[in-house]
Chain A
Amino acid sequence: MRRLFVSVHKSFYLIVVAVLLLSISSDLSAQSNIRIKGSVTADDDGSPVRNATIRIDGTAFETTTSGDGHFSISDIPEGVYQLMVTAPGFDPYPSVEVEVVADISRTVHIRLRRKIYPLEGIRIRGHRQPVTREMTVIDRRQIERTQAAELSEVLEAVPGVEIHRTGPGGQAAISIRGSTPDQVLVLIDGRRLNSASGGAADLNSIPIDVVERIELYKSGASAKFGPNAMAGAVNIVTRAASITSPRSIETGFSRGTWKTYRSNFSFESNIPGTGISHSINYERKSTAGDFSYTYHVSPGDAVYEGTRINNAFESQALFGRGYLSKGSFKADLSVQYYDAANGLPGKVSQQNEDASREDKRIQGNSGIEYRFAEYLTARLSAACSENIQYFSDRSGPVLNQYETRYTERGVDIKGELVTNLLPNHQITLGGQYQKNKLNHEDLMREVYATGVTRRTMTSLFATAQHLFDISRSKLIDVVTLNASLRYDNSITEPEKKLIRFPRPERRRNVRTESVSPLIGLTVTKGERIRLTGRASWGKSLRLPSINALFWQSDARSAGNPDLKPERSEQYEVGLEADCRLAWGTIAAGTIFYHKDISDMVVWIQSSPDGLFKPQNIGAAEVSGHEDYVRFNSFDDLLQFSYINSVTHARNRQTGYNYDKVITYTPAYVTTFRIGLNYRSLRVAYDIRRVGRRYALPGNEKWYDSYSLHDLAVSGQFTLNGNWHFELNGRIDNLTSEEYVLIGQHPMPGRSYNLGISIKYELKGNKK
């Protein structure tokens, strides 16, 4: 391990030097016959615009910008030309006149204005989406800026979000504002990713390269997505090749500490004139994972150290997506395959080298959209999926042994109509039908298998939004009111086995009906210096898990079919200000939130039998605030952000640790980030300070606060206009800080990762 460390350490610095040299000299690689070159950036924040199309009017010359927003067109005869620039998400640029003279290259820098998507007949002032709105969007550009290797690392930078990991190669589950991971609904292209067994979703099962944007709901989102989004939702939208993008092949490889390897391959293409584009992405990851650790639990002076074993991880993911856009009609088809195998190291006091887990997911999504008229659009989508999870440990004492498998198959059909019949008004009406079949097999103790459980859910939903332009009042420019309402009816049908405890009876079906509302108000004022205020209120719920309802009773525990859904009521109030200056943008904001959670399912012993059974007795109160300050220079040279989230998550279960802080919820998380983009060199330095985490419900033991320093460096350069190279390196946990996320699961110290990515655009220039 030591030898590897030295080797990687040296290699890292060599790569950094190489990146610097290549980045600074990348312009030297420009060809002598280039006539027009330049860059395309966003008007509001100066960020580079990827895939912008630059066309010379009246000719066949055309190209697109690379990832850093640069372009070049060569072999152009002398003359005066009109340059036309378009890009998805931006208003078309008015033509610009360029004169090409012999042996002189012309450089053009173009700023595009970000396209505003107003409701019918309404012009929305301003240029940025307020972060205080109910949904936070992280787009591809922001994802790339983080230089993250995993999707979970991107989300970790969002205020109020915590990622729960058990090691360097294992699963990564999301917690929002003190929630448990199973209270957060994770969707991929609108389809549920949460596991059938534990309820949590593994974010690392989605390659970061396939993510186009992340839509994050930090408050309860049952009004949008139905049950199971009680603490929020994450919708991960995968990338679809643009019909204007060049055909390209990209491959990458990286290696890091603990023999971590990652390789990926992607292909994007389109069929000119047909409106069809498609993409394929394949990723393979593996790690040996074992690492040395040191940590301590407070109060106490004892320091625990050793080596974590059985952290090996191996996965592969294949994502394919096709897209058709023809006039008013759009169609989308995607297929996802993922499988992974990893060790389960166990607690440090009971490390286990034999326990393992396997995951396999196959999912197909399809959707069509047709715009009947300016005021009416219809969408219909369907998906089917199969998730298999297998857990095994057949070594050691029999009591510790298990072998179990969950197989879940599901169908999901959703239709919606979007109308703009009235001015300034938009209404969405829809319905959804979901049917899931979960088969739990206990391969070691067959009699304790839950068997096949079917859950059918039928939903109706409506969303209305209205804009009031009251700029004449000089006090407020725009007021936006939105309201969502969703009705869900579910029936859960267990296999009709005999329950032995607490009294012999046949299992019965469980029906649940729920209505989830959400109301929001947004007020904006100003354009150059814009103030945005926001408030929202809503109710959400989470259905009891199938395990909690129908756990096959044994000598110590039993399920409880009388369970009600867990419920939450939340509100939030936020204020944001952003200002465009000559040299950049500054934005700052704060949001206060509060939620009450009731009927939480807690497994306790109960009378008269003393069996452990789930009961709706838990309650919690979570409040806090999230603050940020961001600066970004227009040329994207310098970025700075400060994010602070403070959480007060208290137990409100009467008689049991009342008012104690909920375990593993840090009191605060503060993130400080500096980013530097110089030519093709990109540097990011993050400091993340996490407050104390209590490890026991009574708060008697805790893990101390810690600070993590992460450094990422990357450089891109282009050869011949078609070949794009990127070298990147990361050092995570630079100071080798000791920390623990989950009890008895210490995290590793300093780690390195070095990578290279090569992209070849098959059609750089069209003539």
Chain B
Amino acid sequence: MKLTTTKYSSLLTCCLILLLGNAFAAEPTAWVINANGETLSRINLNSSTVDNDLVTLGSDVLSYPNQIIVHDTLAYVVCSGTDEIQVIDLNSLTTTGFISTGAASNPYWMAFLDGSTAYVTSFVNNSLIKLNMATGSIVGETLVGTSPEGVLIRDFKAYIAVTSFDPGTYIYGQGKVAVYDTDTDQKLYDINVGVNPQYLAVDPAGRIHVVCTGDYWSSFGMIYVIDPTVDLVVDSFSIGGSPGQIAIDPDGIGFLAAGGWDVDGYVYTYNSLTGELLHGPSNPLVVGFGCWMAVPYLDSSVFVGGMSNVVTPIDSAGNAGQQFSLGNGPVHLDFNYQPGDLTGDFVVDIADLVFMADWYFTGGSEPAYPKWRANLNGDFFYDISDLVYLVDFMFTGGSRPLVGPAWVD
């Protein structure tokens, strides 16, 4: 059976190569939001050119943008100061709308369930707000714990970092990760973690790493590891300092933006699979001062940056790539990953079809990070329908591949 399939796929591949169907290409781009300048910047990763001040962020001044998520030609920016999600058309570089999260809600972080549903944490309202991104409306809100910040969706569950920062006393209580069922839109339970959990990321083993920043005084950086199959803490280890954003590269190296507010900025790294601290407070990777951003790019590097207005890609060995001068206070970025681009060259063409066929039928390697690019039809599964979708796009004039759930892997 396997032999038959292999022959079939090889024959099909040869035929498709000969036919050379429809293709789509995009410049690999990093879209960066600048917290202080409240603007959008663009890094062309092919030409290494930077364009700043492309779009004004927020409907007014003091918008405090926190996070950007790029879906094909649209970008969604969480503006915590103006209580809204800004939707930007990246082709025309215009704002197509603002989705309100409610007055004084202070939205902090956002995660998409699928192409049209997103969840955003409300730091002030202690809640998780469910948004219909197609209609631009709030469709639900659930209390999840005191002062929630980061949120991550995996296997139809949302994991919310609940800092337990008591605004009445300014003291941090028991840090928790609230687990939320996206099917029933109900909070399931809390998982206790360290002090002041802020951000979450998934390691190559599928485990969730929770960055517990500490209270900046008596307790310091810790990583708690949760196994989402049983929703239990399975590991924890000390990092030190007061780390914030986290990125885990496909090799399992965790990068932590660790501030550094006077002269230099710092990045800590650790092995997410073993818990080994590679670069901690005593031997940090030194970058521009005020480092508060860490975002992984493909399988090659992590982009870090902050108050120094510089974004730097660094690899797992700590080697820095070319620096990019950004706008005022880059705080977060996202890449224009192309659904259907399995090879990671930002082109959707016959090579991706070959890659997919090889992966499905001949046991070839999986797509590199982020894997969701292979989920072409936007549903929650990788299956033959994705291959059909790609064939339809390339040879019969079908529509472009869709952005599916980023958490599917």
Contacts and interface: CB of A to CB of B under 8 A. Distances in A.
Interface of A: 297, 299-300, 302, 304, 347-352, 396-401, 444-445, 447-448, 500-502, 554-556, 604-611, 655-657, 695-698, 700-701, 743-744
A399 B37 contact: no
Nearest to B147: A399
B259 interface: yes
B59 A400 contact: no
Interface stretch (B162-170, B224-232, B375-383, B393-401): B162-170
Given A397-B124, A448-B170, A700 B147 contact: no
B245 interface: no
B260 A300 contact: no
Contacts of A351: 103
Contacts of A304: 59-60
Given A349-B103, A401-B167, A444-B168, A700 B62 contact: no
Interface residues of B, number: 48
Contacts of B37: 696, 698, 700
Contacts of B165: 555
Contacts of A609: 216-217, 242
Interface centre among A351, A447, A555, A611 (most CB of B within 10 A): A555
Interface in B79-126: 81-83, 95, 103-104, 106, 123-126
Which DSSP category, helix, strand, loop or mixed, fits chain B's interface? loop
A501 B216 CA distance: 8
Contact of B61 (A399, A611, A696): A696
A399 B124 contact: yes
Nearest to A500: B217
B216 A743 contact: no
Contacts of B289: 655
A135 to B, nearest CB: 36
B194 to A, nearest CB: 15
Given A349-B103, A604-B261, A657-B328, A299 B62 contact: no
Interface centre among A399, A447, A606, A696 (most CB of B within 10 A): A399
A349 B167 contact: no
Contacts of A350: 83, 103-104
A744 B60 contact: yes
Contact of B36 (A502, A555, A696): A696
Contacts of A297: 56, 60-61
Contacts of A300: 56, 95
Contact of B216 (A396, A448, A556): A556
Contacts of B361: none
A414 to B, nearest CB: 42
27 contacts: A300-B95, A350-B103, A351-B103, A398-B167, A400-B124, A401-B167, A501-B216, A555-B172, A555-B217, A605-B259, A605-B261, A606-B261, A607-B260, A607-B262, A609-B242, A657-B328, A695-B61, A696-B37, A698-B34, A698-B328, A700-B37, A700-B38, A700-B39, A700-B53, A701-B38, A701-B56, A744-B61
Contacts of B59: 302, 304, 349
B3 interface: no
What are the nearest 6 A-B pairs in CB distance? Answer: A399-B167, A698-B328, A554-B170, A397-B124, A700-B37, A695-B61
Interface string B162-195: 0001111111100000000000000000000000
Given A399-B167, A401-B167, A349 B82 contact: yes
A397 B167 contact: yes
A718 B59 CA distance: 56
B306 to A, nearest CB: 10
A397 B327 CA distance: 33
B104 A396 contact: yes
A352 B83 CA distance: 14
A698 B56 contact: no
Given A447-B169, A607-B259, A607-B260, 13 more contacts: A300-B56, A302-B59, A349-B82, A350-B104, A397-B124, A399-B123, A445-B169, A502-B217, A606-B262, A609-B242, A657-B36, A696-B61, A696-B328
Given A397-B104, A399-B124, A555-B171, A743 B60 contact: yes
B308 interface: yes
Nearest to A703: B61
A314 B124 CA distance: 31
Contacts of A398: 166-168
Nearest to B263: A607
A349 B81 contact: yes
Interface centre among B59, B126, B241, B281 (most CB of A within 10 A): B59
